[in-house]
Chains A and B, each alone.
Chain A
Amino acid sequence: MKIEVLGMGCANCNKLYQNVVEAVKLSGKEIDVAKVEDIKKIMSYGVLSTPALAIDGVVKVAGKVPKAEEIKKWIE
């Protein structure tokens, strides 16, 4: 499994990244979390609002910051 946090480095993007890391820790799994800051790659996902979260290439949420517990549900 691969989780990507899409965003050009705004405050909310960092917050989402931290929530993802926390969710991964809560789930106890070994999951690769990556920050995607390149605008070309972000646009290839078709999102218009950041931060966004993609799990295995599927955009789960865009333009908001879900909590760690919510992200954990998607991981499991």
Chain B
Amino acid sequence: MLKSFADYIIFHLLAIPSDTHLGEALNFFLYDTIKIFLLLSVIIFLVAIIRSYFPPERTRRILSREREYVGNGLAGLLGIVTPFCSCSAVPLFIGFVESGVPLGVTFSFLVSSPMINEVALVLLLGLFGWRIALLYIGTGLIVSFVSGVAIGKMRMERYVQEYVYQMKVGSGDIAQQTFREKLEYARDYTRDLLKRIWPYVLIGIGVGGFIHGYVPSDFLLKYAGPGNPFAVPVAVLIGVPLYSNAAGTIPIVQALMGKGMPIGTVLAFMMAVTALSFPEAVILKNVLKMRLLLIFFGIVAAAIIGVGYLFNSIL
């Protein structure tokens, strides 16, 4: 139905012949745009409702009962459904540690929460198909698990700022929302999020449709193609300091994949951008001593590089 709608607009209303390159590209662009914005609206709305049942206060209660391994895995999964914003990282970290969530488990959560989110999933699903979307979730969970377990094993508790352990955290009784309020909140949230990300999404789709033929394809491939063993670490090192949401990375990801960069390298880049960033480091410095901060970034970057190589070698 969407397809015939796009056909009708481009080939009949605008009367651009379907056998031209322009007609084909415009048709593709319109079809993809409608499809992805429909998907985004529906999924962001549903996720906002699911999330209202997993406030961080509840996630903390669940995780404070868990130990290593099971806790790390659970923290990764809860990171997907618990709302998270990097400006909340400090109270969240203190609240988790104070209620007895192990340090490594807390880090598993801190990795998965910003990295695996509904916007990334919808865009990957809409632009590259469900295999790549699932691959992204799976890979994100692996990185979150491995990084959290590694930090837990290193016994880094003494490299957390001392005041964190002296903090008294209140009971956290927050007024409950009615279902109607949840629906209204989800509607507003969807609208606000779409308002913020639509330019990136359009550029992302546009890159797939138009720029394709115009950038010399051998340029990137020469430096970051399958033949270069350093492509994955270079992509990650470029991605770590960058600060963007998942939507912001999609245009770049589209362009890189269109130019034939291997999927492992592209996913590694996207994860590095969303999971680690310079502003996040500044925020986390409030609760972590420099040494633990560097170890955290180092381990997560290494885990991302690892899965990048893994996918390049098996796909």
Verify A39–B90 contact, CB threshold 8 A: yes
Give Cα distance in the complex from A8 to B94, angstroms: 14
Instruction: Name the B residues within 8 Å of A62 (CB-CB).
Output: 55, 57, 174
Nearest-neighbour CB distance to chain B for A9, whole angstroms, equals 8
Give Cα distance in the complex from A42 to B85, angstroms: 16
Closest to B98 in A: A43
Verify A44–B87 contact, CB threshold 8 A: no
For chain B, which range describes its interface: under 10, 10 to 19, 20 to 34, or 35 or more residues? 20 to 34
Give Cα distance in the complex from A76 to B60, angstroms: 33
Give Cα distance in the complex from A47 to B169, angstroms: 8
Contact of A13 among B87, B94, B95 (CB under 8 A): B87
Verify A59–B175 contact, CB threshold 8 A: yes
Closest to B57 in A: A48
Instruction: Name the B residues within 8 Å of A7 (CB-CB).
Output: 87
Q: A39-B94, A62-B55 are in contact. Are A47 and B83 (CB under 8 A)?
A: no
Contact of A46 among B85, B163, B172, B286 (CB under 8 A): B172
Nearest-neighbour CB distance to chain A for B98, whole angstroms, equals 8
Give Cα distance in the complex from A60 to B174, angstroms: 6
Q: How many A-B residue pairs have CB under 8 A?
A: 88
Q: A40-B167, A62-B55, A63-B55 are in contact. Are A48 and B95 (CB under 8 A)?
A: yes
Check: B311 CB closer than 8 A to any chain A CB: no
Instruction: Name the A residues within 8 Å of B98 (CB-CB).
Output: 43
Contact of B56 among A10, A40, A48 (CB under 8 A): A48
Mask for B152-174, Cβ within 8 A of A = 1, else 0? 00000000000100011111111
Verify A48–B60 contact, CB threshold 8 A: yes
Closest to A60 in B: B175
Nearest-neighbour CB distance to chain B for A16, whole angstroms, equals 11
Q: A62-B55, A64-B185 are in contact. Are A47 and B168 (CB under 8 A)?
A: no
A13, A45, A59, A63 — most chain B CB neighbours (10 Å): A63
Contact residues of B between 249 and 293, Cβ < 8 Å to A: 286
Closest to B171 in A: A46
For chain A, which range describes its interface: under 10, 10 to 19, 20 to 34, or 35 or more residues? 20 to 34
Instruction: Name the B residues within 8 Å of A1 (CB-CB).
Output: none
Check: A18 CB closer than 8 A to any chain B CB: no
Verify A63–B83 contact, CB threshold 8 A: yes
Closest to B192 in A: A65
Mask for B188-228, Cβ within 8 A of A = 1, else 0? 11000000000000000000000000000000000000000
Check: B298 CB closer than 8 A to any chain A CB: no
Q: A39-B286, A64-B185 are in contact. Are A49 and B91 (CB under 8 A)?
A: yes
Instruction: Name the B residues within 8 Å of A50 (CB-CB).
Output: 87-88, 91
Closest to B188 in A: A67
Closest to A49 in B: B88
Check: A12 CB closer than 8 A to any chain B CB: yes
Give Cα distance in the complex from A67 to B87, angstroms: 19
Q: A46-B169, A61-B175 are in contact. Are A8 and B55 (CB under 8 A)?
A: no
Check: B92 CB closer than 8 A to any chain A CB: yes
Instruction: Name the B residues within 8 Å of A8 (CB-CB).
Output: 87, 90-91
Give Cα distance in the complex from A33 to B91, angstroms: 22
Contact of B57 among A43, A46, A51, A61 (CB under 8 A): A46
Contact residues of B between 7 and 60, Cβ < 8 Å to A: 55-57, 60
Which B residues contact A (CB, under 8 angstroms)?
55-57, 60, 83-85, 87-88, 90-92, 94-96, 98, 163, 167-175, 185, 188-189, 286
* 7 extra interface residue pairs, beta carbon distance < 8 Å, beyond A46-B170, A49-B92, A63-B83: A43-B94, A47-B91, A48-B60, A48-B95, A49-B56, A49-B85, A61-B174
